[in-house]
Amino acid sequence: MALNTGKILRVNLTTGKVTTESVPEKVAADFIGGRGYGVRYLYDEIKPGIDPFSEENKLLMLNGPLAGTTAQAVSRWMTCTKSPLTGTFTRSVCGADFGAWLKFCGYEMIILEGKAEKPSYLHLTPDGCKIMDASGIWGKDTKVTQEWLVARHGKNTRTACIGPAGEKLVKYAAVVSDRRTAGRGGTGAVMGSKNIKAVAITASRRLFLADPEGYEKLAKQQVSTILGNGGFQNHKEWGTTATQDITNAIGIYPVRNFRYGQLVDYKPILGAEYRKLRVGDIGCYSCAARCGKVHTVTSGAYAGAHSEGPEYESIWAFTGSIESDSLEASIAADQLCDDLGLDTISTGNTIGFAYELYEKGLIKKSDTDGLELLYGETAPMIALIKKIGYREGIGDLLAEGTRRVAEKIGKGSEVYAIHVKGMELPAYEPRGAKSQGYNYATASVGASHCYGYAAQDIFGAPFPHPTDRFDEGNADIVIFNQNETAWHECGIACAFSGGWGWMDIFGKLLAAARGIDAYAGAELEKAGDRLFNLERAFNVREGFKRKDDYLPTRIRTEPLHTRKAKGEGQMVSHNDAFLDKYYGLRGWTKQGVPTSKKLKELGLGFAIKDITAKRK
Ligand code: SF4
Per-residue pLDDT of 307-361, as tens digits, reads 999 999 999 999 999 999 999 999 999 999 999 999 999 999 999 999 999 999 9
pLDDT in tens, 453-469: 999 999 999 999 999 99
Cα distances from 325 to residues 33, 263, 504, in angstroms, run: 42, 8, 42
- What is the number of the ligand 1 atom nearest to the C-alpha of 76? 5
- What is the number of the ligand 1 atom nearest to the C-alpha of 235? 1
Average pLDDT over residues 190-198: 98
Q: What is the pLDDT of residue 1?
A: 60
Question: What spacing in Å lies between the alpha carbon of 292 and ligand 1's midpoint?
Answer: 8
Q: What is the pLDDT of residue 517?
A: 81
CA 271 to chain centre: 23
Best residue for ligand 1 mutational test, from 97, 494, 497, 502 (most atoms within 8 Å of Cβ):
494
Q: Which residues contact 394 (CB under 8 A, 6 or more apart)?
A: 354, 363, 367, 368, 369, 371, 384, 387
What is the Cα–Cα distance from 313 to 325, expressed in whole angstroms?
15
Quick one: CA dihedral 64, 69, 72, 78, positive or negative?
Answer: positive
pLDDT over threshold 80, residue 508: yes
Tell me the average pLDDT of the chain.
97
Average pLDDT over residues 1-18: 93
pLDDT over threshold 80, residue 55: yes
Q: How much is the pTM?
A: 0.98
Strands 306-307 and 157-161: unpaired
pLDDT over threshold 80, residue 13: yes
Cβ proximity of 327 and 269 under 8 Å: yes
Average pLDDT over residues 566-584: 98
Ligand 1 is surrounded, with C-beta below 6 A, by: 73, 76, 95, 283-284, 287, 289-291, 494, 496
pLDDT over threshold 80, residue 615: no
pLDDT over threshold 80, residue 518: no
Question: What spacing in Å lies between the alpha carbon of 277 and ligand 1's midpoint?
Answer: 21
- What is the number of the ligand 1 atom nearest to the C-alpha of 239? 2
H/E run at residue 21: strand 18-22
Q: What is the pLDDT of residue 2?
A: 72
Cβ proximity of 320 and 263 under 8 Å: yes
What is the Cα–Cα distance from 348 to 319, expressed in whole angstroms?
9
Which of 2-11, 93-102, 157-166, 379-388 has the lowest average pLDDT?
2-11
Which of 176, 184, 607 lies closest to 421, judged by CA? Answer: 184
Q: What is the pLDDT of residue 519?
A: 84
Identity (one letter) of the amino acid at 276?
K
pLDDT over threshold 90, residue 470: yes
Q: What is the pLDDT of residue 521?
A: 83
DSSP class of residue 607?
G
Which of 1-10, 97-106, 361-370, 534-543 has the lowest average pLDDT?
1-10
DSSP class of residue 303?
T
Residue percentage of the chain with pLDDT more than 90: 98
DSSP class of residue 23?
P
- How are the residues of the chain apportioned to helix, strand and coil, as percentages rounded to the nearest 5? 45, 15, 45
User: Predicted confidence band at 520 (pLDDT cuts at 50, 70, 90)?
Assistant: confident
pLDDT in tens, 232-290: 999 999 999 999 999 999 999 999 999 999 999 999 999 999 999 999 999 999 999 99
